[in-house]
Structure 1
Amino acid sequence: MSKGTHMRNVRVSDELWDVAKVKAESEGRTLSGVIRESLQAYVEVTAPYGQLDAQVVDADKLSPEPDPAQAVLECIDILSDALSDAQMTLGRAMRTISRLKGRDD
């Protein structure tokens, strides 16, 4: 465990976890790092609605009067991109597995 961080538990489907892990590793990243970055991006979009530690988010990045609809649309865009990437990665993984199975026969 890194200094200043704590272990957390979340519920995630095995399929999503596995695809995300493969994608992160293919990018030379850790899944923990991807999750932290995603949470940071989420906080930066939704920050005006919750309490924040000043060390986590730069206050200059926050809009003084956020538009809730815009924040939701930005979150949807982020999630849509992530899902699209995960689907492409899963497709590539499935094709690779199919090719490898064909070689074993």
Structure 2
Amino acid sequence: MANTRRLLTLADRLIRAVNDCDWKTVEATAQAVAVTATRLSARPALTQPEQDAVAQVLLAHQYASRRCAVEARDLAEKLCQLRRNAEGYIAYALTTDASQDE
């Protein structure tokens, strides 16, 4: 029962963290899932409630993985855009600064 509760708590925490874009909590929760999974894998068999909870964690992990991939892609696009526009930003800052000095 404790394993089932722990797994369901981790699945819920992972989904909430992803929805909140709380990437530190996502990372910490993913590590906790790995530790729990390693511990459970040493057991000969899981109960049906534990198996169901593992399935919930797997779904939560898949959701988190997809969202992280989307966020990483979006961030990469923003960085590329910043790089492309860097010269313009610098020129604007320099001309604005120069006009304020006059």
Looking at CA atoms only, which structure, 1 or 2, has the larger radius of gyration? 2
Instruction: Identify whether the pair has TM-score above 0.5, normalized to the shorter chain.
Output: no
TM-score by length of 1: 0.39
Work out which structure has the larger RCO, using CA pairs closer than 8 Å and 6 or more positions apart in sequence: 2
Judging by fraction of residues, say which structure has more helix.
Answer: 2
TM-score by length of 2: 0.40
